Amino acid sequence: MVLRAFFQVSLLLLAPPLLVGIVNRVKALFAGRRGPPLLQAYYDLAKLLRKGAVFSRTTTWVFRAGPAIGLAAVFLSGLLLPLGGERALVSFRGDFLLLAYLLALGRFFTALAALDTGSSFEGMGAAREVSFASIAEPALFLCFVVLARATGTLSLSGMLGAGLGAAWRESAPALLLAGIALFVVALAENARIPVDDPNTHLELTMIHEVMVLDHSGPDLALILYGASMKLFLFGAVVVRLALGGLPPASASLAGAAFLAGLGLFAAVVGVTESVMARLRLTRVPQMLVGASVLSTFALVLLLR
């Protein structure tokens, strides 16, 4: 038990930056470059943590608290996730609601921190972030509702646990639709192409990155770390959903499959980013509403 907790927490704490490394590496390969080392994200974090920081005179404690609260929220939501089909550390009826709302809390404070700077660019980014997120939220919920119905449980550990196999056998189409919707939501939530471009530095077009323009030093490290952890979380859900249909195997085998799947998820994200262009901002809500419609359809399939 304790051991399992230890493994889970360490995985949650250590793996995320690697995922970012994979994504970047894949993108570099597609662009014909060699790209940064896989562990570059870790180096960046370490460097930032060692640095000082510059604070705008406009800012207040909200600006300083934002990154810490954001990271805490993402970390705690990580505790709710069953990694690789194992029971999560914290699991109860309706825990996925807490997960979604924790992510919302992080977003809320990130947006406030952005507004705290008084910069019009950051205000713009914050506006886009909260707007798109509020449209993505129901889509995410619908995916979870589909999962809940398919597996007959209301906790993440149940939804993404052993029951998933039976669910795939019974209602594969619904789960497939939900999975696609979930992937779309994951892209949006993690500020990935086609919703947002983490690499661009043209402020007018950005969403997430522009919100954190003024953060520096350890605060920026917390933000980047949190972002990678969020990517990890979504990856974990998508991968577990995809792998859930496989026949049960031993714990170690399942764990290995899960890790491999995570790597694959990062690679797919990288590929998507490389082959797609960023959508026009006005198209983003359409895409997210589309995800909602897909998952509603999936729910109808299950309830009819």
With CA atoms as reference, report the closest residue to 146 among 178, 169, 172.
178
> Measured from the CB atom, is 30 or 121 closer to another protein?
121
Residue 43 CB, nearest distance to another protein (Å)? Answer: 17
Rounded to whole angstroms, the Cα distance separating 116 from 106 reads: 15
> Measured from the CB atom, is 53 or 251 closer to another protein?
53
The number of C-alpha atoms within 13 Å of 136 and in the hemisphere containing its C-beta is 23
Which positions ≥6 away from 256 have C-beta within 8 Å?
none
> Measured from the CB atom, is 21 or 125 closer to another protein?
125
Which positions ≥6 away from 175 have C-beta within 8 Å?
146, 147, 150, 167, 168, 241, 244, 245, 298
Max Cα distance, the chain (Å):
59
User: What are the tokens at 56?
Assistant: 């705008």
> Measured from the CB atom, is 80 or 227 closer to another protein?
80
Q: Which of the 8 DSSP states describes residue 38?
A: T
Residue 196 CB, nearest distance to another protein (Å)? Answer: 14
Residue 304 CB, nearest distance to another protein (Å)? Answer: 7
Which positions ≥6 away from 102 have C-beta within 8 Å?
73, 74, 76, 77, 80
> Measured from the CB atom, is 23 or 212 closer to another protein?
212
Residue 169 CB, nearest distance to another protein (Å)? Answer: 16
Residue 67 CB, nearest distance to another protein (Å)? Answer: 7
How many degrees, rounded to 5, is the angle at CA 103 between CA 183 and CA 46?
A: 95
Residue 189 CB, nearest distance to another protein (Å)? Answer: 12
> Measured from the CB atom, is 181 or 243 closer to another protein?
181
Q: Tokens 């997430």: give the residue.
A: 208
Q: Tokens 């360490």: give the residue.
A: 10
Residue 17 CB, nearest distance to another protein (Å)? Answer: 17
Helix (H, G, I), strand (E, B), or coil: what is residue 73?
A: helix
Residues in the chain: 304
User: What are the tokens at 262?
Assistant: 């995570």
> Measured from the CB atom, is 37 or 152 closer to another protein?
152
> Measured from the CB atom, is 251 or 300 closer to another protein?
300
Residue 78 CB, nearest distance to another protein (Å)? Answer: 11
Rounded to whole angstroms, the Cα distance separating 264 from 68 reads: 30
